[in-house]
Amino acid sequence: MAISAIKPDATDFLIASKQCEIQDLTSFLKLGQLVVAISNLIHALQRERGASNLFLGSGGQRFSDELEGISQASDDQLNGFYAALAQAREALGSDHGSSRLLSRIASALHGLSGIETLRAQVLRQEISADAATRIYIELIRVLLSVVFEAADTAADPGIAKVLVAMFNLMHGKELAGQERAAGSVGFAGRQFARALQERMTHLLEAQERCFELFCEFADEQSLALYQRCLEKPYQEPIRYLRGVARSNSNQALIRDEHTCQWFELMSSRIDDLKVVEEALEAHLHHLCAIKFAEARQALSQHEVLIRDLQKHEPHDAFVVMLSKDELAGEYEIASLANEGLSPRLGRSVLELVQNQSARLQQMNDELAEARQALEERKLLGRAKALLMKQKQMSEDEAHRLLTRIAMNEGKRLGEVAKAVISMAEMWQ
């Protein structure tokens, strides 16, 4: 027999497969902390955006004293983000397929590197309230895209699900922030023009889709917290004020006190969403720690078992085993034993290998489910971009067109988006 000395061993690869899982989980312990830091940073930037907006809108009268403290709070969170990034950096560098995530981080860092310039412009009132707001929106969007990619990178279905829930909650909360801003403009100006009404509608619908997905993937505790938000006393007046904004006779319905009311009600709502976000973060951290401990334990059990097996029986007693699940059950392991083999050791290693394969397959199936939610969002984004480019639509218009088609045809938004994309490809 001419098998040379380099012959590798099945059990080595079995252990390597386990170690690879552990390495993935280690990365996610760190990525989890990065997501927490991003969540805090976004919350701070949302406040800074609001304050800058009011400062610029009031011609420098309001919030001039608070602005410095608010920026300082953002900087604290920025430091937290940088620290988490330094921690995650190493874990990310060697990971297969994390180039997209790294590239998103580069975008975020590039955006954040201009924040001092932006603040100086705001203080000197050299930028319009509108332009400043849009830059903050863009900064937050880029930060959210880092969370999106992190969710897309997760190899463990449990962690992927929490990250999908997290991304959607964060995104929903950001849309709520934008709704607060849009409503403030309308109530303060005592009218909602058609375009502003459409924007409000779009922001509300997009929020609802985010929170639906959050509910689909969140853990029980975060879900319970979120449901408690839905019963809070601010929900009813918010609904009323949205109705005012939507109404054709909104100019007649708007009262002086609405501006302040709207801002405060929506702020309470957003703060509550932040609390849900924190619960979800705690859950993510807990989950990563548990999975990590489990994987570690499974690995050491495997190692012990394999050492044991290797001690008791020489190598050439291994037998070829069929994996029952893939054949029609007509050829069982027993039949090999009947043919005079002693498959004890072979069976033990086989069982380990098969268990690992089956577990990974199961994980892959569950993962596919969580990823579908991300996939739909990607499709939606591409379909909107195509409509915006080819039909000169605004994002709101594109979104409304897609949801209208979906409603009329009783299809999922993702399906409609897919159809639009394939049509657009044909036009080109």
Answer yes or no whether residue 415 interacts with a copy of itself by CB under 8 A. Answer: no
Answer yes or no whether residue 425 interacts with a copy of itself by CB under 8 A. Answer: no
CA–CA gap between residue 305 and residue 299 (Å, rounded): 10
CA–CA gap between residue 394 and residue 400 (Å, rounded): 10
Q: Residue 269 Cβ, how far from a copy of itself at the closest point, in Å?
A: 26
Q: Residue 25 Cβ, how far from a copy of itself at the closest point, in Å?
A: 11
Q: Residue 35 Cβ, how far from a copy of itself at the closest point, in Å?
A: 16
Residue 289 vs 360, nearer CB to a copy of itself: 360
Residue 196 vs 253, nearer CB to a copy of itself: 196
Residue 105 vs 166, nearer CB to a copy of itself: 105
Q: Mention every residue, 6+ apart, whose C-beta is less than 8 A from residue 225.
A: 275, 276, 279
- Find how far residue 283's CA is from the centre of its chain: 14
Q: Residue 212 Cβ, how far from a copy of itself at the closest point, in Å?
A: 20
CA–CA gap between residue 181 and residue 179 (Å, rounded): 5
Residue 181 vs 241, nearer CB to a copy of itself: 181
Which residues, 294 to 323, sit near a copy of itself by CB under 8 A? 315-323
Instruction: Count how many Cα atoms sit within 13 Å of the Cα of residue 196 in the half-sphere of its side chain.
Output: 21
Answer yes or no whether residue 188 interacts with a copy of itself by CB under 8 A. Answer: no
User: With CB under 8 A as the contact rule, which of the stretches 160-168, 241-249, 327-335, 408-416 interacts with a copy of itself?
Assistant: 327-335
Q: Is 64 helix (H, G, I), strand (E, B) or coil?
A: coil
Applying CB under 8 A, among 68, 116, 271, 332 the residue interacting with a copy of itself is: 116
Which residues, 345 to 404, sit near a copy of itself by CB under 8 A? 346, 349-350, 353-354, 356-357, 360-361, 364-365, 381-382, 385, 388, 393-395
Q: For residue 164, which of 147, 176, 146 has the smallest C-alpha distance?
A: 147
CA–CA gap between residue 160 and residue 31 (Å, rounded): 12
Here the tokens at position 396 are 């709101």
CA–CA gap between residue 117 and residue 98 (Å, rounded): 31
Which residues, 240 to 259, sit near a copy of itself by CB under 8 A? none
Helix or strand (DSSP H, E) at 110: helix 99-112
Q: Phi and psi for 2 in degrees, rounded to 5?
A: -110, 30
The torsion angle over the Cα atoms of residues 55, 60, 61 and 64, rounded to 10 degrees, is 70
Answer yes or no whether residue 1 interacts with a copy of itself by CB under 8 A. Answer: yes
CA 40, 41, 46, 50 torsion: positive or negative? positive
Q: Is 357 exposed, middle or buried (0-12, 13-18, 19+ CB in 10 A)?
A: middle
Answer yes or no whether residue 329 interacts with a copy of itself by CB under 8 A. Answer: yes
CA–CA gap between residue 35 and residue 237 (Å, rounded): 33
Applying CB under 8 A, among 58, 66, 134, 195 the residue interacting with a copy of itself is: 134
Answer yes or no whether residue 221 interacts with a copy of itself by CB under 8 A. Answer: no
Which residues, 146 to 185, sit near a copy of itself by CB under 8 A? 153, 155
Answer yes or no whether residue 11 interacts with a copy of itself by CB under 8 A. Answer: yes
Q: Is 114 helix (H, G, I), strand (E, B) or coil?
A: coil
Number of residues that bind a copy of itself (CB under 8 A): 109
With vertex at residue 148, the alpha carbon angle to CA 144 and CA 154, rounded to the nearest 5 degrees, is 140
Q: Under a CB-based contact definition with an 8 Å cutoff, are residues 356 and 18 in contact?
A: yes
Applying CB under 8 A, among 20, 290, 407, 423 the residue interacting with a copy of itself is: 20
User: With CB under 8 A as the contact rule, which of the stretches 21-29, 173-181, 188-196, 404-412 interacts with a copy of itself?
Assistant: 21-29
Applying CB under 8 A, among 9, 68, 236, 264 the residue interacting with a copy of itself is: 9
Applying CB under 8 A, among 122, 139, 203, 383 the residue interacting with a copy of itself is: 139
3-state class percentages of the chain: helix first, strand second, coil last, to nearest 5: 80, 0, 20
Answer yes or no whether residue 331 interacts with a copy of itself by CB under 8 A. Answer: yes
Answer yes or no whether residue 34 interacts with a copy of itself by CB under 8 A. Answer: no
Which residues, 75 to 114, sit near a copy of itself by CB under 8 A? 75-76, 78-79, 82-83, 85-86, 89, 92-100, 102-114
User: With CB under 8 A as the contact rule, which of the stretches 52-60, 134-142, 168-176, 193-201 interacts with a copy of itself?
Assistant: 134-142
Q: Residue 155 Cβ, how far from a copy of itself at the closest point, in Å?
A: 5
